[in-house]
Amino acid sequence: MFRFLHQPDRALRPFLILWSTQTFSALGSAMTGYALLIWSYRALGSALGTAMLAVCTYAPYVALSIFAGALSDRWDPKKTMLVGDTLAALCTVGIGVLYLTGNLRIWHLYGLNFLLGLFNTVQQPASDVAVTLLTPKSHVQRVCGLRSLGNAAVTLLTPAAASALLAFAGLPAVLWFDLGTFAMAFLALLLRVRIPQRGPAEGAQAREPLSEATRAGLRYLRGNPGVLHLILFLALINLIASMYNAALPAMLLSRQNGGDFALGAVNTVTGLATVLGGILTTLLPAPKSRVRLILNALLFSMSFENFLLAFGRSPIVWCVAAVLGWIAIPAMGANMDALLRLRIPVTMQGRVYAARNTLQFFTIPVGNLLGGLLVDRVFEPLMAAQANDGLLPLLFGTGKGSGAAALYACLGVLGVLSCLPFRRDAALWALETPPQPAPDAAPAQADPA
């Protein structure tokens, strides 16, 4: 892999520039999100309050994505990404001004996260299309692996880097780093990356009525049940995973042997596991069965991690849970990404990805809201009412955070029950059949900028 990065195929250089700079910018954004998560939990002490940050980010994203995809297929992806990055940077500036003047409140973060989610509705489909246009078909598996590796690297570095900057220089330093990474990514995209045109069908799409273009993505999914079922399966997984995310800070920051160190350690180990998984995904050849790999990876991850978080009482056990839960996720994500890119015509990808975003990601704000409510209103009161020598305290411990541990046991059962039925879905297995070549397939190569 490192030889490939050092001496890449000439056609892949634009993608590598885009991928590396956008990944670095994503690290800055993730560090800001991590720092604000800690700030909000310390201010509120509520799982629901911190979960609302994710709800506000994803609510506009899933509500408007289906319309934004039609626009992203009409608009130039490069310009769309540049505008989206700029608006997101302005939100970061707004947070910094409010913090430095002593006026930052939790409702400000809710509002700014809503705006970030709004900007991302158009930017994300444009980014997906740009990657397809820059990727020769012979390198799809490797590019998908690199994207997973980039996401893993962000997950690995975020907690340690954000915690270090917070400890030594405070929240403003995190925000300045975020803005610096934005500037680098913006200039690289503006000056160094030329994204090819999508072909003659692009002009016809620009003249197509917006309502018809919006329905086109849904029609494609109705006509391709395997893709649709895969998206719905991931929607169910996202529901469980977002409940996991809502409960994690509440459990690790509150439990005995927990605190900031435990949360940072688990997040760091999660990053290490995903980096290792991303490296393996990039180095290894494509699997014989992408569908089988996706199903097995999610069954493994959804079971072991949740159960170990539920019954573990120390950072070591929680870190082992993170390794088992995340090491297979890059392979799952890369192979799902490859399945979609190889099957969906590039002139349709913006609209289909937008429909995918609405169907697959609408469960994320629901899960975050549900997870916060279940921790604060159901499981924590339930555990507080138990006698110390009862069965539930024996299984999940006592004190604040034991309710979140009990929720993880339920999520483990729900994860297993969610994965097993899809193993018998014939439409999913039909995705193993190679797709017919499309006339508007991605170009064999792209000229470097």
pLDDT in tens, the chain (449 residues): 445 555 456 777 888 899 999 999 989 988 998 888 888 877 777 777 888 888 888 888 777 777 766 666 677 888 889 998 899 899 999 999 999 998 988 889 999 888 888 887 777 778 878 888 888 777 777 787 788 778 878 877 887 788 888 888 888 999 999 999 999 999 999 998 888 876 555 544 555 666 676 677 888 888 899 999 999 999 999 999 999 988 998 888 888 888 878 888 898 888 888 888 878 887 888 888 999 999 999 999 998 999 999 999 899 999 999 999 999 998 898 888 888 888 888 777 777 877 887 888 888 888 988 998 999 999 999 999 998 888 999 999 888 889 999 999 999 999 999 999 999 999 999 988 765 554 443 333 333 33
What does the block give as tokens for 319?
């870190």
DSSP code of residue 195: P
Distance CA 358, CA 362 (A): 6
- Could you tell me which of 30, 50, 48 has the C-alpha nearest to residue 39? 50
CA 385 to chain centroid, in Å, comes to: 36
Query: CB-based burial of residue 321 (10 Å sphere; 0-12 exposed, 13-18 middle, 19+ buried)?
Result: buried
Contact by Cβ (8 Å): 159, 30: no
Sequence-separated (6 or more) residues with CB below 8 Å from residue 164 = none
pLDDT at 407: 95
- Could you tell me which of 219, 21, 39 has the C-alpha nearest to residue 112? 39
